[in-house]
Amino acid sequence: MLFRSARSGKFPELGLELASRTIPQMTAESPAGWRLVASRSRGQLLLQAGRTDEALACLREVHDEFPLDAEATWALAQHAQQQGRLEDSLELLGELTVLPGLEAGLLALTARRELSAGGKPPPQLVPSKLVEKTWKVLQRDPAELSNWLDELFLKKMRALGGEPQSRTGNGNRVVLAELFTGAQCAPCVAADLSLGAIEGVFDRSQLIVLRYHQHTPGSDPLASPDTLQRFEQYGGSGTPSVYLNGRPVEGVGGSILLAPAVIPRLKTQIAAQSAATTPYSIKLAARVRDPRGLIDLEAEGLGAERFPPEVRLHLAVAEQRIPMLAKNGIRVHEMVVRLCPDRK
């Protein structure tokens, strides 16, 4: 009843009365989805009832706690547009544009009639169209819009990870996270965003993330024979697949809405592994040999007089950042493996 009243716009006062009874009964142990729907619905109903200040305060709290909720973000963006706060509305509309799946999920609600009839949603309901329009109204350089969206994507992705986390105890181990993903792989979004968010939590002395693209479910321009063979070495069968120091992590796939559940699990495992101690280390050096871009690489294993014969040093050359709007919505790809020089 509360949910339907908020979406239909009918009987807002009745809906608010129901919200006043429902929300106080919820606790920290209540399912997050229940708290989200109840709080967001209250904010929407307050707007409909003309209680703007209360509504905005409520919706901002929802946006802070549930940054992937498209409906609360949309409500805040619409109000900012109506009030002429174009800078505020631009960022909110940008969030809906750059975070994979949010715009499509929103349009499934706001433009249901047009989409079910096989038509296109009206431009005033499409966040990405409104971003372009607002950008023009603000008289910004059209050539800079794509870069702005890329930076906003990275900013919002990093924010999902939370505060930076320092190493505990005397640990000295660096955790290697390897993600096998695909530009057309929709279920890879949760894993890709989760690791991207976590890269802002741990520094490079604690965590290194490498991404190996695969031709799954379709062709991927970021895949290479080396990235495919690395997956074969693990006996991989599907994407996404995540390995922490060579051990698989289960349950990392899904849409962006599953990222808030994946992130804390990965953070816990990474923190525990980085707190471990090891006598082994690798000494690395790289230098550009000439203007053609040839690179000399040197690597030396330390910590043992003699390593077991089955131990191998795996080298990977990764590109730090590639802006490319992939079919699954990931628009910036970081630490993408391009070459494994030791591949046999």
Tens-place pLDDT, residues 59-112:
999 999 999 999 999 999 999 999 999 999 999 999 999 999 999 999 999 988
Report yes or no: 33 and 68 within 8 Å, Cβ to Cβ: no
What integer pLDDT is reported at residue 157 of this predicted model? 98
Kindly give, in sequence order, each residue whose CB lies less than 8 Å from that of residue 172, ignoring residues fewer than 6 positions away.
277, 278
Of the candidates 286, 182, 177, which has an alpha carbon nearest to the alpha carbon of residue 224?
Answer: 182
What pLDDT does 296 receive? 85
The predicted structure's pLDDT at residue 9: 56
The three-state secondary structure class of 341 is coil
Here the tokens at position 73 are 């973000």
Structure tokens at 261: 């559940």
Positions of the chain with pLDDT under 70:
1-12, 14, 342-344
Residue 236: count of CB within 10 angstroms of its CB: 18
Phi, psi values for residue 274, rounded to 5°: -75, -20
Nearest partner of 233 among 297, 299, 298, 178, judged by Cα: 178
Cβ-based neighbours of 31, under 8 Å, separated by 6 or more: none
235: region left, alpha or beta (phi > 0 left; psi from -120 to 50 alpha): left
Residue appearing with tokens 């290697």: 176
CB 149 within 8 A of CB 98: yes
3-class SS at 178?
strand
Q: How many CB atoms lie within 10 A of CB 59?
A: 25
Q: Which of 44, 38, 40 is nearest to 19 (CA)?
A: 38
Q: Are 216 and 232 contacting, i.e. CB atoms less than 8 angstroms apart?
A: no
Which 3-state string (H, E, C) describes 104-163? HHHHHHHCHHHHHCCCCCCHHHCHHHHHHHHHHHCCCCHHHHHHHHHHHHHHHHHHCCCC
Residue 210 neighbours by CB under 8 Å, 6+ apart: 176, 177, 178, 179, 316, 318, 335, 337
Rg (CA), the chain: 23
Q: CA 139, CA 234: separation in Å to the nearest integer? A: 51
Looking at residue 10, what is its pLDDT? Answer: 61
Cα–Cα distance, 171 to 73 (Å, whole number): 41
pLDDT computed for residue 1 by the predictor:
47
Residue 181 DSSP code: E
SS3 content of the chain, % helix, strand, coil (to 5): 45, 15, 40
What is the β-pairing status of strands 175-181 and 207-213? parallel
CB-CB contact of 108 with 131 (8 Å): no
CA distances from 91 to 122, 134, 151, 204, 286 (A): 21, 10, 11, 29, 40
- 207-213 vs 241-244, strand pairing mode: unpaired
pLDDT value of residue 26: 79
DSSP collapsed to 3 states, 266-281: HHHHHHHHHCCCCCCE
Residue 341: cis peptide before it, omega within 30 degrees of 0 = no
Residue labelled with tokens 């030791």: 342
